[in-house]
Chains A and B, each alone.
Chain A
Amino acid sequence: MRLILRRLVHLAVVLFLVTLFVALLTAMLPGDPVDAIAGFASEEQREALREELGLDDPVPVQYVRWMGDFVTGDLGGYYTVTGERPVMDRVRDSLPVSLQLMVYAQVLALAVAIPAGVLTAYRAGSRGDRIANATAFGMLAIPNFALALVLAYYVGVELGWLPVSGYVRPSEDLVEHLRRMAMPAISLAVGQIAVYMRLLRSDMIATLQEDFITMAKAKGVSPRRVLWRHALRPSSLTLLTVAGLNVGTLIGGAVVVEVIFSLPGIGLLLYEAIVSRQYVALQSLVAIIAVGYVLINFLVDVLYAVLDPRIRHARA
């Protein structure tokens, strides 16, 4: 309990600093922020905008105002010549796409990495193990965007197996949905597979040297059962933690991969905001990503402590 309390304090501090940084982004814009946000505006509109964003207010006031808007779902607007459109409308549609992509990538990565990790640990030092290791090492060096482009070209254009862009909702057409998510998810998963496999492999090797495994073998339990029932679970804690913490890397990768495959997720919104210099939208999107990331890290941390008594007692 004390541990969780301490984590909560830590969480509060981190959230405060992260949101403070994001809230002051517009104020940090070089020159007059209004020029950057809406350079086309008339003098009147500029005044209104200045008022609306509270650019002349002292920092604490700006922060409180921004924070109040953010938690009540007011994410600011896209400022265009024809008027202002709320960012929230776009975010509502985009968030599920990004989440789906990350879940698929994560599931795919674990689905490949767990069997691979278990088998290479069981046959550590064999030719197959060495080949798997070399492959994993190579996979680590492939940037996900490069893989995405290579896949888009060979699988999408040359072979014509999968569509290279666009998104279909699962409720509309599940098969088409999966077909369109396949390449983005694979691009994101490949790097993770290498990391997860290595991690599980080394933990498994350690577990397989434990007494209770020898005991199980001595009792005549089949190797398969020893591996999957006895050894996997105690070996998987580090893997699960890293998988949780890796969400941060996934977020970064997902942004770029969404842009490449024109998937209308948060990453594509972020890209549009950058290209069209929609700083207020950028601010809100960065806030969503950063806060989401901090919260996930917190959950993983707490979950890990709850799951593993060794950690609970060691750190408390």
Chain B
Amino acid sequence: MPAPDGGLDLEPAATLAPGGAPAATREPVDAATGAATPTGGRWSRQGRLGWFGVLAIAWLAFVTLAAVLAPVLPLDDPNENVAAIVNQGPGTDGHLLGGDALGRDLLSRMVWGGRASLLLGVASVSLGMVVGGLLGLVAGYHRGRVDTVVAGAFDVLLSFPQLILAVTLVTVFASGQGVSSTRRMVVLILALGLVSVPVLGRIARANALAWSQREFVTAARAVGARDRSIMFGEVLPNVLPAMFSIALLGIAVVIVVEGGLSLLGVGVQLPTPSWGNVLAEGRSELRQAPHIVMVPTVVIFLTVLSLNYLGDVVRARFDVRESAL
């Protein structure tokens, strides 16, 4: 995937099988520990955070805080037009990142845009986590016919090019004249949520499948625990780390996809800013004012880089722990 390449194919790098190496990548495995050897490794070393991880967390915290606190921060109105800063570059007095083609303060649009982009990322991936996670958990735990149906449904959903599916749904359900920002946002969340359901669902299913055969599950069953309490009490906690690491990547992908959708005219609805639609608007000013494109590009890049890295740390760390079980 992981790819910020516009698609949503999260899987190859990341199928986690308990007690062993990732199933999908054939990394050399140290027989003694079951962990990936440093040479075959991951981006992060052995799941340690490192200085890069600290920076990644700091950046994400900064961006999230700014987005959450946007209404109380001493910022210009993101939709106020100031003639003096039309297409002015970063550093124009009082406007740290300059202004866009309509004289709107870019810093303010980035902060408010972060609200839309992060909300979309977190909300749609959460939707995928809950729906995909539940379906995958039930399918992996019960197996049999339920599993066939659920796994088949995931397959079908994945067999549609993901960006195209999102584009189609948003165009059909929220692109007419006078569609409100809210309606567009809700449809975007649902569409991207739908796209992430099979991705997260598969991870949940694969992990639930493996964990459900462990001794402690048999033990729980032997002492008379109900299926539901085993699923949520015994299996789910073990499935979550894998899902969580993929969810981090998923948020990154959604942020990128929103940019792609914006360029196609079906991203977050203007005038509400998002990182993607600021960038898309800046495209027409590329010659005169390249900074309008560069600012959101850098912000998206740093955010995606941080999310990818942390996703990797989580994955590596839980690999190691599982092998120690």
> Given A36-B176, A206-B28, A146–B300 Cβ distance below 8 Å?
yes
Interface size classification for chain A = 35 or more
Contact of A106 with B by CB under 8 A: no
Q: Is the CB of A146 within 8 A of B279?
A: yes
| Neighbouring B residues of A286 by C-beta, 8 Å | 164, 168
Complex interface: chain A residues within 8 A of B176 (CB): 30-31, 36, 277
**Closest chain A residue to B29, Cβ basis:** A206
CA distance A199 to B4 in the complex (A): 16
A205–B40 CB distance below 8 A: yes
User: A146-185, CB under 8 A of B: which get 1 and which 0?
Assistant: 1001101100010000000000000000000000000000
Question: How many A-B pairs with Cβ below 8 Å?
Answer: 193
Contact call B293/A205, Cβ cutoff below 8 A: no
Q: Mark B60-84, 1 if CB is under 8 A from A, else 0.
A: 0000000000000000000000000
Contact A199 B43 (CB under 8 A): no
Contact of B9 with A249 in the complex, beta carbons under 8 Å: yes
A143-B256, A256-B264 in contact; A28/B283 too (CB < 8 A)? no
**A274 and B265 contact, CB distance less than 8 A:** yes
Please name the residue on chain A nearest to B176 by beta carbon: A36
Interface assignment of A78: CB less than 8 Å from any CB of chain B:
no
Candidates A30, A144, A289; contact of B164 at CB < 8 Å: A289
Q: Is the CB of B6 within 8 A of A141?
A: no
* B119, chain A: closest CB distance, angstroms: 19
Task: Say which size band chain B's interface belongs to.
Answer: 35 or more
**A253 within 8 Å of B (CB atoms):** yes
Whether A101 is near chain B, meaning CB under 8 Å from some CB there, is no
- Residue A271 CB within 8 A of the other chain: yes
If the complex has contacts A144-B6, A149-B283, A274-B167, are A251 and B155 also in contact, measured as CB distance less than 8 A? no
Partner of B260, one of A13, A149, A242, A256: A256
Contacting residues, chain A, for B40 (C-beta < 8 A): 124, 202, 205-206
Binding site for B on A (CB under 8 A): 10, 13-14, 17-18, 21, 25, 28-31, 36, 124-125, 133, 137-138, 140-146, 149-150, 152-153, 157, 188, 191-192, 195, 198-199, 202-203, 205-206, 209, 238, 242, 245-246, 248-253, 255-256, 259-260, 270-271, 274-275, 277, 279, 282, 286, 289-290, 293-294, 297
Interface residues of B (CB under 8 A from A): 1-7, 9, 12-13, 25-28, 38-40, 43, 152, 155-156, 159-164, 167-168, 171-173, 175-176, 252, 256, 259-260, 263-266, 279, 283, 286-287, 290, 293-294, 297, 300-301, 304-305, 308-309
